[in-house]
Structure 1
Amino acid sequence: MAITDVAQYAHLSNADMEALGAELDLIRREVEESLGANDAAYIRRTIAFQRTLEAAARLLLATSRSTAGWLVGTAALACAKSVENMEISHNVGHGQWDWMNDPEIHSTTWEWDMAGLSSQWRYSHNFRHHVFTNVIDMDDDLGFGVMRMTRDQPWEPRYLLQPLRNVLLAIGFEWGIALHGVHAAHARADTEPAKKAQSRAVITKIGRQMVKDYLVFPALSRSRWRRTLSANVAANVARNLWAYVVIFCGHFPDGAQKFSAASLENESKPDWYLRQMLGTANFNAGPLLAFASGNLCYQIEHHLFPDLPSNRYAAIATRVRALCEEFDLPYTTGSLLNQYLQTIRTIHRLALPDRFLTDTPAADAAESRRRIRSRTWVRRTPAPEVVPAAATNPACGRAVETVLG
């Protein structure tokens, strides 16, 4: 079921692949050349809005005595945390605003309001995930190590708990990301002292977050500390749930394809582009929902150009969708609810052993909706120690360059 030759799967000739790569390179080049004051003003305005919203929420929580005041204050705090996480920190961490040369708004200096370390996340996410998107045994985000998201992953008894693990991951998403990041950091470290240093670093960060949210702010509320503590817990959980929904809807609904490790062999830049287009999914959103999701409703465009500013994705999406029509490629999108329900269906189905899953085309659609075209499939193969050539090409998002900062 995993794809081994992305160009052959899409029925694109060598000339088609070169043409597709050239068109996407052109989009990148034109956006980069047009970046300027309006884009810089956008991110600064967004940061100012987020900080003002958080301050107003905390002020309301501190001064209001009513239940309605707590609900409004908590909702506002959750929104502020979501904007900080999705539209600011995630995108700053990708290096989308590094071109401004602002020491505050830079991928190497920004630390997000989450339990995990930004530096560890940049490696696990910018490199392991964005370079090897949906490649089995190489993309650590494919099920986050606790869930089976394709039948190419052999079933194990532990997957029977997958529906429950999914719920726990959603509620504690920031903790899952923290563990995910330190695990990737450990795998990358070549000595035991280096691994211990990474563990100490994330423990220190977790300590700072716990003290800030669950000690300092409640203490400042004096006799109302319980009110503030409960608001912080609720806002963090709401932020976790929203981030989880957005991320899962961009990677696991029907139509988001999976790839064998063999697909990386001799992978060119156009191959890398095409793999991103086939392996990700969008959801329909207006300006407000797009902003709330960090513009990750445009997950296809984000994976094509992860280091281009998020405020440009809506315009880029129009051009990418036109290219998909021109080259007869799928452009996977749908409502947020529809994409999430498809993802939940996959999570629950793949919790079962393969003998309980039917092999009809209709049943396959529950895991990944497939276009009715001839294609080549391969069985799961061991992951080679290989970095695709496209990964180190600046036109593919500079994923490697922004890992370490």
Structure 2
Amino acid sequence: MAITDIAVYTHLSPHDIESLGDELDAIRADIEESLGARDAAYIRRTIKFQRALDVAARVVIATSRSKTGWLVGTAALGFAKSVENMEIGHNVSHGQWDWMNDPEIHSSTWEWDMVAVSTQWKTSHNYRHHVFSNVLGEDDDLGFGVMRVTPEQPWQKRHLLQPLQNVFLAMTFEWGIALHGLDQRRSRSEWIAQGKEVLRKIVRQGAKDYLLWPALSVRRWRRTLCANATANLLRNLWAYVVIFCGHFPDGTQKFTADVLETETRAEWYLRQMLATANFRAGRFLGFASGNLCYQIEHHLFPDLPSNRLAEIARRVQPLCDKYDLPYLTGSLSHQYASTLRVIHRLALPNAA
């Protein structure tokens, strides 16, 4: 059931909740105070690595004559696209690197390599989702408007197809994000303008991936075309898995709009901790996921650099133990299996 009173649900006193908020504020202050050259070097190094890998992958795809060469090049291109999408695009657009005052690595200027428009995504995601995380009727990312992920969402016959819809969404995730960014709350003229902006982005992306790069391969254009389509599919599937594992496993809590009426900063922190889930990852898997294996910490501090989330997690988990709060984590396979159970279970009507 959706939570209507966070204090009652967690059995914490107002003093405890405020104390938790103070300790989380202290973590934020410590990280902000320590940001510096090491962090700036990390994001610049990551961008250089991603761009070099992208170029190298395309060279291998275009020049290799073997099936193995094509597979290696395509896998590398898919990984490069995933890094650009998650560790760079997602995190830069959150403003995690704005403190550097580098106009080329700034949330106001970065446009990522997929069909979704960054400015629209920042409204639907940074504001609607992160401010109102898992609040029914407020968080547009709660099922992305097409999936039923909580019993409080009214069941409809179309939800019987939800397991198949889930597969389709995974394969076309960037397109789902692009359409999700169209704000239904705007006036008709504003909505049309947004649609035109998405269409222009789709044309640019399509021309780059499915016309320009294949044309540069001349006689081997089919090989490059297939590689680009496959790499985009791999990026879509990986981004979908990471995002869904951070938001929809069993144990992630949903909330009624009542919690917003008198919500304090400390209660907002508490809601983020209850609404999200992590999955265990080493350095490589963490990097590949944009460090969104630390979704709890990311939701607590969405504008703090991703390379510091592992450090933050080592301080947040003991706080959960101290205040007897759940710290929802597990292996990637476990969290995804849990997510699938939710999706399949809620494809059916609520039990009487």
Scaled by the length of structure 2, the TM-score of the pair is 0.99
Are the equivalent residues in 2 in contact too, given 1:161–1:351 (CA < 8 A)?
yes
Q: Which amino acid aligns with 2:22?
A: A
1:4-403 matches, cutoff 5 A? 4-182=4-182, 184=183, 186-187=184-185, 189-190=186-187, 192-354=188-350, 357=351
Q: 1:199 Cα deviation (Å)?
A: 1.2
- Give unpaired runs (5+ residues) of structure 2: none
SS at match of 2:38: helix
Instruction: Give RMSD over aligned pairs.
Output: 0.8
Consecutive unaligned residues of structure 1, counting only runs of 5 or more, are 359-405
CA distance in 2, matches of 1:147, 1:62: 39
Following superposition, the deviation at residue 36 of structure 1 comes to: 0.3
- C-alpha distance in 1 between matches for 2:273 and 2:166: 25
CA distance in 2, matches of 1:243, 1:47: 18
Deviation at 1:193, TM superposition (A): 2.6
Q: Deviations over 1:147-203 (max 9, x none)?
A: 100111111111111111100000000000000002x2x42x34x332221111110
What is the one-letter code of the residue matched to 2:108?
T
Distance in 1 between the 2:159 and 2:306 partners?
35
For 1:216 and 1:52, the matched residues in 2 are separated by: 19
Amino acid at match of 2:95: G
1:3 counterpart SS class: coil
Aligned partner of 1:395 in structure 2 is none
Counterpart residue type for residue 177 of structure 2? I
Q: Is the 8 A contact 1:7 1:274 kept in 2?
A: no
CA deviation after TM superposition for structure 1 residue 140, in Å = 0.8
Cα deviation digits, residues 185-226 of structure 1 (max 9, x gap): x42x34x33222111111001100000000000010011000
How many pairs are equivalent? Answer: 352
Q: State the one-letter code of the partner of 1:129.
A: H
Partner amino acid, structure 2, of 1:106: H
The structure with more helix, counted as a fraction of residues? 2
C-alpha separation between the residues in 2 aligned to 1:39 and 1:313? 12
Give CA deviations for 1:245-270 in whole Å, capped at 9, x if unaligned: 00000000111101111111111000
Q: Identity across aligned pairs (percent)?
A: 69
Following the alignment from structure 2 to structure 1, what is the Cα–Cα distance between the partners of residues 346 and 234?
27
Mapped partners of 1:234, 1:277: distance in 2: 35
Query: Which letter does structure 1 place at the counterpart of 2:78?
Result: A
* Cα-to-partner distance string for 1:66-96 (whole Å, 9 max, x where unaligned): 0000000000000000000010000000000
Give the AA of the match of 2:316. Answer: V
Q: Distance in 2 between matches of 1:195 and 1:154?
A: 26
Using the size of structure 1 for normalisation, the TM-score is 0.86
